[in-house]
Chains A and B, each alone.
Chain A
Amino acid sequence: MFEGLSLTTIVLFLPMVGFTILLFLNQETQKEQIKWTAFGTTMVTFFASLILWAGFDPNNPALQMVHRFTWLNVQVGNVAINSDYYVGVDGLSLLLVLLTTFIMPIATLASFSSGVLAERGREKLYYAFLLLLEWAMIGVFVVQDLIVFYVFWEVTLVPMYFLVGIWGGEQRVYAAVKFFLYTMAGSILMLIAILYVGNVAGTFVLPDVVARVTAPDFSWTATTAASASDITGALLFFGFFIAFAIKVPVFPFHSWLPDAHVQAPTAGSVILAGVLLKMGTYGLVRFNLQMFPAESIQFAPLIGVLAVIGIIYGAWVSYAQTDVKKLVAYSSVSHLGFVVLGIFSLNAQGIQGATLQMVNHGISTGGLFLLVGMLYERYHTKDMAAYGGIWSKAPWFGAVALVVALSSMGLPGLNGFVGEFTILLGSVGSKYLGFFFTLFATLGVIMAAVYILYMFQRVFMGDYKAPGGHDGHGHGHGHDAHSDDNPLKLHWNEVVVLIPILILIFWIGLQPGGFFDTMDAATNQLVAHVEAANETTVAGALEQNGLTVGTGTTTTEVASNPGN
């Protein structure tokens, strides 16, 4: 069990160490210690993951720092169930682990000054849930075994349910329940698919399953030969896809997101937007593309359409919002529409762009939620009408908000643009999506500007409206701890929280090279893997879908785009 212990497991279980320490602290007397242990653990995990990144060899596409032992190898009737605790990091998942460990300290620090937490108390429980959530999230990203992945996938729901349920806004219970049930319903389908796959492939360990799937004579219906009408593969593909789509959320499944975001506490929505949504997209890359390359190719156009609708629909609806958190929530739908588009362009630019955009979205939307959270702390309402002219009273706050807004709008030179540009570049040249996907997707860029600037203008410009509402009902905010000279003055922890986000926004904006290198090798391997399935089925699939294959499928010595 412990031989071959690798850094990945250490990083994975560090939060649990913090969690256990927390258990022994007393809720009433040791409030400070609780706060600082939680923050300390998240920082330690962050540094550990940095070491993980340092130790990571970018041009080796395989899984690294692997720690594997079989924990379940049982023969039930004629069914052999063997699943390993198989943990490893490769190009695709490393960045997301880093994002998780980066977001968590920020979320923890942000909740130091959270009014809701002070009011409802139970800090120990709160921070314990945070650490539990971090553990589960890292688990989702590093685990390679289907069953263990499913376990971690479900475990993430529990802490988030409580975070939203206990410390959320007014209809927190409704939102929490809806969030839980939606994701749970989706993952039920995934569970069925996992079991079927495990059974057919004989093992639950992902790399082995993938190896078996790519074997030439493999067919999902173990008995009959792979016939054109064989829809088992498609059903499995959609089993996984729907679970991830609900999580992403892709267009039709997104109605839980606004509720969850609006009702979640600041730290909760930062994590929810920052990392939890990425689990869906990461799942798509890790499971759907790897295990069902042929189906991915076959359904790429369909999912592309959904993604583009998501982009435009998300942007358009968020323009009509009055609740600022709901606006940012719908913006996430739009941004993640880009990510899904990138993934299903099935070429190197697309996937790398998508992965980077996941990180960018985590940072910029995380930043937006932090800012909105800070406003909520002071104004105690999320309605934009109550805000106004904040920039005049809090210049720094306004400046930071401007930078974060521009980054999420995709201003070139900042991190948002790098991701979006690569994704759109990928989607133009992709063999499965086409020029028109990009055309409509790029419209999203304009609409992003529309709602972001509208929000910025309503909140930060115009006449200054003091907290507590200017329309007379301003009952004295007695308890408003910071009602000193300027109510909008930032606390120390709020400033400290924003600085890393700004640094990353500029760093990724100006020098994304480091990030691209990390995932380069792994993405190429994935693309080659998908391409391999392409030769065999694309002709059939395309005819099936009535798409005419481009005139010169043979890549003549034409002004061929360099490696789509």
Chain B
Amino acid sequence: MHTETYPQLIPLVILIPALGAFINIFWGSKLTERVSGLIGITAAVLTFIISVLIFSHLNGHHGTGSVINPVIFQTWLRIDSIGLDIPWQFRVDPLTAVMLLVVTGVGSLIHIYSMGYMHGDKKFSRFFAYLNLFMMFMLLLVTSNNFLMLFVGWEGVGVMSYLLIGFNWDKGGALGWKNSNAARKAMIVNRVGDFGVLMAIFMIFWTFGTLTFYQPGETANVCYAREVNNLGACAEESHSEGEAAAAEGETAAAEGDHSEGETVAEAEGDHSEGEAAAAEGETVAEAEGDHSEGETAEGEGDHSEGETAAAEGDHSEGETAEGEGGHGGEPVVLADVDNSKFASYTDLGVFGQTAHYMSLEEGSPERLVQFGTLALDFKTVLFIIVLFLLLGVAGKSAQIPLFVWLPDAMAGPTPVSALMHAATMVTAGVFLLIRSNVFLDYVPEARLVIAIIGSVTALMAGFIALGQWDIKRVLAFSTVSQLGFMVAAVGLGAYVAALFHLATHAVFKALLFLGSGSVIHGVEHGHHHVHAHGNGPGHGHGNGPDDHHDAHDEHVDEAFDPQDMRNMGGLASRMPITYWTYLFGTFALAGLPFFAGFWSKDEILADAFHEALEGHLLLDNLAGYIVLGLLLVAAGFTAFYMWRQVQMVFHGDPRTEAAASAPESSAWMTIPLLVLAFFSFTVGFVNVPKYTPIFSGFMGIQDYEFKHFLESAIPSVTLKESLAFNTPLALLAVVIAFSAIALSHSIYGGNKAVQGRRDPLHVNRSTRQMWSLANARLYWDEIYFRLIENPYNRLSKFLYEVVDWRFLHDYFHDSVLKAGYDSMGKLLAKPFDLGIIDGTVNGVGALVRLLSGRVRVVQTGYVRVYAVILLLGVVAVLLIMLLPLLQVQAGS
């Protein structure tokens, strides 16, 4: 199957995890642990393979992204009369490819890891079902071609995090309740974020008339497309504010380009034979537990088996295939390169239209956006949209106001934390920002806000991480901090740096989480081992699946928290693989030279520095300096708390028997650790900047490979000349890192952290204040509770009891209506009813008796009297009849 048709496989990416989940949900209880696990893993690995295929296609062809329509469920929200048409559409372009790789790669590893980790859990199949569903939603989010489909993935991921965080809700008593509370909190905070995205979506729709990113056949980065097809360079005009002049230079230059791949693939009968044959039968069924009557492509089942056979063993994701794609193919016409083939700009996608509007000069009526009664300039509308998006990102990627849910989310099982709260889900926010980079390009003020929030979050999270005892909570705050880095990078306009850091962070943070998972696993084992020693071996390992689980709450009956670093120590010798891989992760995170973290973090710092120096606007310079300062401090914190963690967990001697007898985790868990460790070292080399002393050109690695790859998706990338390797800045970063580690070593080295379960910093008077603040997480939770949760509850109770029930229901209904009605009734009854009506009736009766008394006398009984009366009557009648005659007579 030649590479052109790989993008066709995109719908499979959604379908396969859905099918896996479907099987696990319905037949999970029947399948054994191993089988359902394998199904989950095959689904994940299959998607990974497809992602690799797509990546290789895009990498080789310099092809700009293409829009793929699903075979079956093409239209979703369609009201023809008013032009509302939001289809299920996929967007395959380098940005998607990178995210696909990250999500599926890390996802597959975590699937494998959780085979081991969740071993023995009675809801094993359900866990895998949820993981697959999560993968499906995340991929839906990543590959969508319009905001609404993205939003479906966005909320879907939110729901899956709700289910996964609350996975252990059925633990008895308070622990179960804490889990479900954490899940509910996560969901609600996410919903607050979703509120922002929803509002942004409304405004986008009313501004552009459509929500689609790129219409089929539209090119994202016109300048790149021209260069690649050597159709003459873009009109190089000063891109001071970073306005991508991409779209306005519609000069026509005819030249061939082999981008027929990108043409719309609506044509159902795509002629890809072999594995893509599944395309015919596939259906996009992204709803989890989809037992809807829609044809769930039973045929799919057999297809996937065939696939896995090929990739079963090596699941080596075949390193980023650098090979140069062939340049052959017929000439590309300029028209379909620079979007002029679309009749009017309104046919373009959202980003194309933005470019057009921004090209109009300020204040022209064209730029006026009409909102019902409101009319705003396009730029202000864009600004509001970006702010709303930022609110959404803050909710999802745990930035300053809405990050509170992430630490609590650690209540979920560790693979969940690793997958969702380190690698994939939390990056969705950053992905959204990167995806809508065209918006950000045109509103520097908005980017400033983003940068500030990002960097402040990084610093704040780093600081809090210093004071945490729970191994996962430290990592959680470190994730928040690193996300802060990414958001800051996006704020600076360094999208590539942000994406690169996202990728590397996903790898080594997943590594750290899985490492911590295996540590916790080990400690638990140790604890049980020790604890169970007393009452016979039987109790030990296999039975009672749930207690085997990582009960990680302080006041669990055994009052032993396997996750609390104070109960660990000296595990290096016990769990070598975990130790070493963990070290790799720590070095990568700390940004020691030549580890992944170093390259990506340095990239961000370099961009910040560059922005500080050459930023055209005052804003940019200022932004640059602030961000650089904050990020450097944050980097320092990062290195410090990571080393603190390594010290407390691995070095020194074990502080509890559990730690002493913690066994190394099973193969299922260690292999992914090794793989991740390998990658956390090598993935950095993807984006080596120019002229780096050793590595530029090392082993045939071109510099800025990653950036070149992304150029076709992100317009502003081609404009900025790629920065040279900024040695002084790099040195500074390295120095900070090493000094932080040294400091941390000095404080926590050699069992110093042991004294009476109190952190040395806490002990040391000068830093006590600082440390307790960090430990208490800057009192965020308390603030939240007092400012939002409590008033909300009290007000709701007040509204219900007082306003609704007592006022509306009782007072208004009973006293006003009913009382009024009753009183009116009484009023009417007494005077009116008795007095008047009865009076009249009785009166008539009396009158009749009176009269009849008189008349009775007439009946004498004598016939003659009757005769007289009769005659009297006759005479009377006659006279009456004659009356008219008389009158006539009298009258005439």
Is B801 a contact of A320 with CB atoms below 8 Å? yes
Is B374 a contact of A550 with CB atoms below 8 Å? yes
- Given A316-B795, A561-B207, the answer on whether A413 and B367 have CB atoms closer than 8 Å is no
Which residue of chain A lies nearest to B199 when distances are taken between CB atoms in the complex? Answer: A442
Is B294 a contact of A510 with CB atoms below 8 Å? yes
B843 at the interface (CB under 8 A from A): no
Is A510 a contact of B287 with CB atoms below 8 Å? yes
- Given A453-B184, A462-B176, the answer on whether A510 and B170 have CB atoms closer than 8 Å is no
A562 at the interface (CB under 8 A from B): yes
B594 at the interface (CB under 8 A from A): no
Is B148 a contact of A431 with CB atoms below 8 Å? no
B891 at the interface (CB under 8 A from A): no
B365 touches which of A321, A418, A445, A558 (Cβ 8 Å): A558
Task: Note all chain A residues with C-beta closer than 8 A to B292.
Answer: 502-503, 506-507, 510
Stretch of A9-17, A186-194, A209-217, A432-440 lying at the B interface: A432-440
Interface centre among A445, A509, A562 (most CB of B within 10 A): A562
Contacts of B82-104 to chain A: CB distance below 8 A = 82-84
Report how many A-B pairs have Cβ atoms within 8 Å: 228
A159 at the interface (CB under 8 A from B): no
Is A428 a contact of B372 with CB atoms below 8 Å? yes
Which residue of chain A lies nearest to B166 when distances are taken between CB atoms in the complex? Answer: A461
CB distance from A326 to the nearest CB of B (A): 9
Which residue of chain A lies nearest to B196 when distances are taken between CB atoms in the complex? Answer: A442
Task: Note all chain A residues with C-beta closer than 8 A to B155.
Answer: 411-413, 417
Interface string of B184-213 (1 = CB under 8 A from A): 100110011011001100110111110000
- Report Cα–Cα, A403/B169, bound state, in Å: 18
- Given A252-B808, A510-B73, the answer on whether A559 and B156 have CB atoms closer than 8 Å is no
- Report Cα–Cα, A433/B202, bound state, in Å: 14
Is B77 a contact of A520 with CB atoms below 8 Å? no
Which residue of chain B lies nearest to A392 when distances are taken between CB atoms in the complex? Answer: B170
Which residue of chain B lies nearest to A557 when distances are taken between CB atoms in the complex? Answer: B366
- Report Cα–Cα, A389/B291, bound state, in Å: 24
Is B357 a contact of A559 with CB atoms below 8 Å? yes
Is A552 a contact of B368 with CB atoms below 8 Å? yes
Stretch of A77-85, A196-204, A371-379, A419-427 lying at the B interface: A419-427
- Given A435-B372, A461-B166, the answer on whether A511 and B198 have CB atoms closer than 8 Å is no
A382 at the interface (CB under 8 A from B): no
Task: Note all chain B residues with C-beta closer than 8 A to A54.
Answer: none
Which residue of chain A lies nearest to B374 when distances are taken between CB atoms in the complex? Answer: A435
Task: Note all chain B residues with C-beta closer than 8 A to A320.
Answer: 793, 796-797, 799-801
B287 touches which of A449, A506, A547, A549 (Cβ 8 Å): A506
B790 at the interface (CB under 8 A from A): no
A348 touches which of B81, B172, B173, B367 (Cβ 8 Å): B81
- Report Cα–Cα, A297/B288, bound state, in Å: 42
- Report Cα–Cα, A512/B78, bound state, in Å: 8
A555 at the interface (CB under 8 A from B): yes
Which residue of chain B lies nearest to A551 when distances are taken between CB atoms in the complex? Answer: B375
A37 at the interface (CB under 8 A from B): no
- Report Cα–Cα, A506/B80, bound state, in Å: 22
CB distance from B434 to the nearest CB of A (A): 21
Which residue of chain B lies nearest to A458 when distances are taken between CB atoms in the complex? Answer: B180
- Given A349-B79, A457-B184, A558-B366, the answer on whether A255 and B813 have CB atoms closer than 8 Å is yes
Is B80 a contact of A520 with CB atoms below 8 Å? yes
B755 at the interface (CB under 8 A from A): no
Contacts of B32-89 to chain A: CB distance below 8 A = 73, 75-84
- Report Cα–Cα, A210/B181, bound state, in Å: 55
A560 at the interface (CB under 8 A from B): yes
B290 at the interface (CB under 8 A from A): yes
Task: Note all chain A residues with C-beta closer than 8 A to B173.
Answer: 463
Interface string of A527-564 (1 = CB under 8 A from B): 00000000000000000000111111001111111111
- Report Cα–Cα, A347/B373, bound state, in Å: 13
A41 at the interface (CB under 8 A from B): no
CB distance from B859 to the nearest CB of A (A): 49
- Given A413-B156, A453-B187, A463-B176, the answer on whether A561 and B206 have CB atoms closer than 8 Å is yes
B370 at the interface (CB under 8 A from A): yes
Task: Note all chain B residues with C-beta closer than 8 A to A556.
Answer: 365-366, 368
B177 at the interface (CB under 8 A from A): yes
Contacts of A257-281 to chain B: CB distance below 8 A = 258-259
Count residues on chain B whose CB falls below 8 Å from chain A CBs.
Answer: 81
Is B79 a contact of A516 with CB atoms below 8 Å? yes
Contacts of B138-154 to chain A: CB distance below 8 A = 148, 151-152, 154
Is B180 a contact of A457 with CB atoms below 8 Å? yes
Is B194 a contact of A445 with CB atoms below 8 Å? yes
B375 touches which of A422, A425, A552 (Cβ 8 Å): A552
Task: Note all chain B residues with C-beta closer than 8 A to A442.
Answer: 195, 198-199, 202
CB distance from B839 to the nearest CB of A (A): 33
A446 at the interface (CB under 8 A from B): yes
- Report Cα–Cα, A564/B192, bound state, in Å: 27
Contacts of A443-479 to chain B: CB distance below 8 A = 443, 445-446, 449-450, 453-454, 457, 461-463
CB distance from A137 to the nearest CB of B (A): 26
Is A349 a contact of B289 with CB atoms below 8 Å? no
- Report Cα–Cα, A454/B789, bound state, in Å: 13
A381 at the interface (CB under 8 A from B): no
A352 at the interface (CB under 8 A from B): yes
B302 at the interface (CB under 8 A from A): no
Is A550 a contact of B199 with CB atoms below 8 Å? no
B812 at the interface (CB under 8 A from A): yes
CB distance from B774 to the nearest CB of A (A): 30
- Given A320-B797, A552-B365, the answer on whether A349 and B372 have CB atoms closer than 8 Å is no
Is B373 a contact of A559 with CB atoms below 8 Å? no
Task: Note all chain A residues with C-beta closer than 8 A to B785.
Answer: none
Interface string of A239-258 (1 = CB under 8 A from B): 00000000000001011001
Is A422 a contact of B77 with CB atoms below 8 Å? yes
Task: Note all chain B residues with C-beta closer than 8 A to A507.
Answer: 292-293
- Report Cα–Cα, A564/B371, bound state, in Å: 9
Task: Note all chain B residues with C-beta closer than 8 A to A461.
Answer: 166, 169-170, 176-177, 180
- Report Cα–Cα, A287/B117, bound state, in Å: 62
Task: Note all chain B residues with C-beta closer than 8 A to A512.
Answer: 76-77
Task: Note all chain B residues with C-beta closer than 8 A to A403.
Answer: 289
Task: Note all chain A residues with C-beta closer than 8 A to B470.
Answer: none
Is A316 a contact of B799 with CB atoms below 8 Å? yes
A319 touches which of B184, B191, B796 (Cβ 8 Å): B796
Is B77 a contact of A413 with CB atoms below 8 Å? no
- Report Cα–Cα, A558/B356, bound state, in Å: 13
Is B75 a contact of A513 with CB atoms below 8 Å? yes
Which residue of chain A lies nearest to B283 when distances are taken between CB atoms in the complex? Answer: A510
Task: Note all chain A residues with C-beta closer than 8 A to B83.
Answer: 562-563
CB distance from B739 to the nearest CB of A (A): 45
Task: Note all chain A residues with C-beta closer than 8 A to B159.
Answer: 406, 411
- Given A321-B800, A453-B187, A510-B292, the answer on whether A563 and B82 have CB atoms closer than 8 Å is yes
Is A317 a contact of B804 with CB atoms below 8 Å? yes
Is A434 a contact of B368 with CB atoms below 8 Å? no
Is A550 a contact of B370 with CB atoms below 8 Å? yes
Task: Note all chain B residues with C-beta closer than 8 A to A523.
Answer: 81
A449 touches which of B187, B357, B373, B378 (Cβ 8 Å): B187
Task: Note all chain A residues with C-beta closer than 8 A to B291.
Answer: 502
B338 at the interface (CB under 8 A from A): no
Give 8 closest A-B pairs by Cβ, nearest first: A506-B292, A320-B800, A562-B209, A320-B796, A412-B152, A449-B191, A561-B206, A461-B180
Complex A-B: 6 CB contacts under 8 Å: A349-B82, A412-B151, A429-B206, A462-B180, A510-B292, A550-B373
Sample of 9 more A-B contacts, CB < 8 Å, known A424-B198, A557-B365:
A255-B808, A435-B371, A438-B202, A446-B188, A449-B188, A461-B177, A462-B176, A520-B80, A552-B370
Q: Which residues of A contact B (CB under 8 A)?
A: 178, 252, 254-255, 258-259, 313, 316-317, 319-321, 347-349, 352, 389, 391-392, 399, 403, 406, 411-414, 417-418, 421-422, 424-425, 428-435, 438-439, 442-443, 445-446, 449-450, 453-454, 457, 461-463, 502-503, 506-507, 509-513, 516-517, 520-521, 523-524, 547-552, 555-564
